Amino acid sequence: MTDLVLAGVLVGFLVVVACVVALLRDTLAATVVFAAYSLGMSILWVVLRAPDVALTEAAVGAGVTTSLFLVAIVKTGRPVGEASFVRGVHLRSLVGAVAVAVALGLTIPSLPAAGDLSTPAFRRVSPYYLDRAVTDFGTENVVTAVLAGYRAFDTFGEVTVVFAAGVAVLVVFRKEVL
Protein backbone atom coordinates (compact mmCIF):
# COMPACT_ATOMS: atom_id res chain seq x y z
CA MET A 1 0.00 0.00 0.00
CA THR A 2 1.54 3.30 -1.01
CA ASP A 3 1.88 6.19 1.39
CA LEU A 4 -0.69 8.21 -0.55
CA VAL A 5 -3.33 5.48 -0.35
CA LEU A 6 -2.60 4.89 3.32
CA ALA A 7 -2.80 8.62 4.04
CA GLY A 8 -6.13 8.78 2.19
CA VAL A 9 -7.52 5.87 4.18
CA LEU A 10 -6.34 7.46 7.43
CA VAL A 11 -7.87 10.83 6.54
CA GLY A 12 -11.17 9.08 5.75
CA PHE A 13 -10.97 7.27 9.07
CA LEU A 14 -10.26 10.55 10.89
CA VAL A 15 -13.24 12.29 9.27
CA VAL A 16 -15.60 9.48 10.22
CA VAL A 17 -14.25 9.27 13.78
CA ALA A 18 -14.43 13.06 14.21
CA CYS A 19 -18.07 13.02 13.12
CA VAL A 20 -18.83 10.18 15.54
CA VAL A 21 -17.15 12.07 18.41
CA ALA A 22 -19.15 15.20 17.57
CA LEU A 23 -22.43 13.28 17.50
CA LEU A 24 -21.95 11.09 20.59
CA ARG A 25 -23.67 12.23 23.76
CA ASP A 26 -22.21 9.56 26.03
CA THR A 27 -19.06 11.11 27.48
CA LEU A 28 -17.27 7.82 28.08
CA ALA A 29 -17.91 6.58 24.54
CA ALA A 30 -16.85 9.95 23.11
CA THR A 31 -13.62 9.80 25.13
CA VAL A 32 -12.77 6.33 23.84
CA VAL A 33 -13.54 7.30 20.23
CA PHE A 34 -11.50 10.51 20.67
CA ALA A 35 -8.54 8.38 21.81
CA ALA A 36 -8.93 6.37 18.58
CA TYR A 37 -8.90 9.66 16.66
CA SER A 38 -5.65 10.69 18.35
CA LEU A 39 -4.03 7.36 17.58
CA GLY A 40 -5.16 7.60 13.96
CA MET A 41 -3.73 11.11 13.76
CA SER A 42 -0.48 9.86 15.24
CA ILE A 43 -0.24 7.15 12.58
CA LEU A 44 -0.96 9.74 9.89
CA TRP A 45 1.93 11.88 11.18
CA VAL A 46 4.21 8.84 10.89
CA VAL A 47 3.05 8.25 7.30
CA LEU A 48 3.74 11.93 6.58
CA ARG A 49 7.25 11.41 7.99
CA ALA A 50 6.89 13.60 11.06
CA PRO A 51 7.78 11.18 13.87
CA ASP A 52 8.36 13.92 16.45
CA VAL A 53 4.83 15.25 15.94
CA ALA A 54 3.49 11.67 15.92
CA LEU A 55 5.13 10.95 19.25
CA THR A 56 3.72 14.13 20.78
CA GLU A 57 0.24 13.37 19.41
CA ALA A 58 0.35 9.84 20.78
CA ALA A 59 1.61 10.96 24.19
CA VAL A 60 -0.51 14.06 24.68
CA GLY A 61 -3.52 13.36 22.45
CA ALA A 62 -4.12 9.67 23.06
CA GLY A 63 -2.40 9.26 26.41
CA VAL A 64 -2.62 12.32 28.60
CA THR A 65 -5.83 13.83 27.22
CA THR A 66 -7.67 10.52 27.39
CA SER A 67 -6.45 10.00 30.95
CA LEU A 68 -7.61 13.47 31.96
CA PHE A 69 -11.03 12.93 30.38
CA LEU A 70 -11.44 9.55 32.09
CA VAL A 71 -10.45 10.96 35.47
CA ALA A 72 -12.86 13.87 34.98
CA ILE A 73 -15.67 11.43 34.16
CA VAL A 74 -14.89 9.35 37.26
CA LYS A 75 -14.68 12.38 39.54
CA THR A 76 -17.80 14.15 38.23
CA GLY A 77 -20.03 11.21 37.43
CA ARG A 78 -21.38 9.91 34.18
CA PRO A 79 -24.84 11.01 33.06
CA VAL A 80 -27.22 8.05 32.92
CA GLY A 81 -30.20 7.49 30.66
CA GLU A 82 -29.25 9.87 27.86
CA ALA A 83 -29.46 8.98 24.20
CA SER A 84 -26.23 7.67 22.67
CA PHE A 85 -26.27 10.02 19.70
CA VAL A 86 -27.53 13.55 19.24
CA ARG A 87 -31.07 13.40 17.85
CA GLY A 88 -30.52 16.16 15.33
CA VAL A 89 -27.87 18.42 13.92
CA HIS A 90 -28.44 22.15 13.60
CA LEU A 91 -28.61 23.13 9.95
CA ARG A 92 -26.44 26.23 10.47
CA SER A 93 -23.71 24.15 12.09
CA LEU A 94 -23.81 21.62 9.29
CA VAL A 95 -23.68 24.31 6.61
CA GLY A 96 -20.79 26.03 8.39
CA ALA A 97 -18.82 22.78 8.72
CA VAL A 98 -19.38 21.88 5.06
CA ALA A 99 -18.39 25.41 3.97
CA VAL A 100 -15.11 25.21 5.90
CA ALA A 101 -14.41 21.73 4.51
CA VAL A 102 -15.06 22.91 0.94
CA ALA A 103 -12.89 26.01 1.42
CA LEU A 104 -10.04 23.88 2.72
CA GLY A 105 -10.55 21.34 -0.05
CA LEU A 106 -10.27 24.06 -2.68
CA THR A 107 -6.76 24.88 -1.49
CA ILE A 108 -5.46 21.35 -2.05
CA PRO A 109 -4.72 21.75 -5.79
CA SER A 110 -2.45 24.72 -5.02
CA LEU A 111 -0.23 22.65 -2.73
CA PRO A 112 2.96 21.13 -4.15
CA ALA A 113 3.16 17.36 -4.48
CA ALA A 114 4.62 15.59 -1.46
CA GLY A 115 8.39 15.30 -1.87
CA ASP A 116 8.51 17.64 -4.89
CA LEU A 117 12.16 18.68 -5.16
CA SER A 118 11.27 22.00 -6.82
CA THR A 119 9.54 23.41 -3.73
CA PRO A 120 11.27 26.21 -1.80
CA ALA A 121 11.92 23.92 1.17
CA PHE A 122 14.08 21.65 -0.98
CA ARG A 123 15.63 24.38 -3.15
CA ARG A 124 16.62 26.88 -0.44
CA VAL A 125 16.06 25.69 3.12
CA SER A 126 17.41 22.12 3.01
CA PRO A 127 20.68 23.01 1.22
CA TYR A 128 21.23 25.86 3.71
CA TYR A 129 20.79 23.53 6.68
CA LEU A 130 22.98 20.81 5.17
CA ASP A 131 25.75 23.27 4.28
CA ARG A 132 25.78 25.38 7.46
CA ALA A 133 24.54 23.15 10.31
CA VAL A 134 27.90 21.60 11.13
CA THR A 135 29.79 24.91 11.15
CA ASP A 136 27.04 26.93 12.86
CA PHE A 137 26.59 24.57 15.82
CA GLY A 138 29.75 22.43 15.92
CA THR A 139 27.94 19.13 15.74
CA GLU A 140 28.41 16.45 13.13
CA ASN A 141 24.77 15.37 13.28
CA VAL A 142 22.66 17.63 11.07
CA VAL A 143 19.38 16.50 12.67
CA THR A 144 20.65 17.49 16.11
CA ALA A 145 21.78 20.85 14.77
CA VAL A 146 18.39 21.51 13.20
CA LEU A 147 16.38 20.45 16.27
CA ALA A 148 18.60 22.02 18.92
CA GLY A 149 19.78 25.02 16.93
CA TYR A 150 17.56 26.23 14.14
CA ARG A 151 14.33 24.90 15.67
CA ALA A 152 15.27 25.38 19.32
CA PHE A 153 12.20 27.47 20.19
CA ASP A 154 9.91 24.97 18.48
CA THR A 155 11.54 22.06 20.30
CA PHE A 156 11.32 24.00 23.58
CA GLY A 157 7.62 24.61 22.88
CA GLU A 158 7.00 20.90 22.33
CA VAL A 159 8.81 20.03 25.56
CA THR A 160 6.78 22.68 27.39
CA VAL A 161 3.50 21.22 26.09
CA VAL A 162 4.45 17.71 27.17
CA PHE A 163 5.59 19.01 30.59
CA ALA A 164 2.35 20.99 31.05
CA ALA A 165 0.31 17.92 30.16
CA GLY A 166 2.23 15.88 32.74
CA VAL A 167 1.68 18.53 35.40
CA ALA A 168 -2.04 18.60 34.55
CA VAL A 169 -2.25 14.85 35.05
CA LEU A 170 -0.50 15.14 38.42
CA VAL A 171 -2.85 17.93 39.47
CA VAL A 172 -5.90 15.90 38.48
CA PHE A 173 -4.61 12.90 40.38
CA ARG A 174 -3.87 15.24 43.32
CA LYS A 175 -0.18 14.40 43.60
CA GLU A 176 2.48 16.82 44.77
CA VAL A 177 4.32 18.62 42.02
CA LEU A 178 7.95 19.29 42.85
Which residues, 6+ apart, have CB-to-CB distance to 110 below 8 Å? none
Query: 61 exposed, middle or buried (CB, 10 Å; 0-12, 13-18, 19+)?
Result: buried
Is residue 136 a contact partner of residue 36, using CB atoms and an 8 Å limit?
no
Is residue 171 a contact partner of residue 177, using CB atoms and an 8 Å limit?
yes
List Cβ<8 Å contacts ≥24 apart for 89-98: 89/23
Domain borders along the chain are: 1-84, 117-178
pLDDT digits (tens, 9 = 90+) for 157-177: 888 888 887 787 777 776 554
pLDDT digits (tens, 9 = 90+) for 38-47: 999 999 999 9
pLDDT at 79 over 70: no
Q: What is the pLDDT of residue 83?
A: 59
Query: Which conformational region is residue 174 in: left (phi greater than 0), alpha (psi within -120 to 50 degrees), or beta?
Result: left
Q: How large is the average pLDDT for residues 87-102?
A: 83
* Phi, psi for 27 (deg, rounded to 5): -65, -40
By three-state DSSP, how is residue 24 classified?
A: strand
Q: What is the mean pLDDT of the chain?
A: 82
Band of pLDDT at residue 71, cut at 50, 70 and 90: confident
Is residue 149 a contact partner of residue 142, using CB atoms and an 8 Å limit?
no
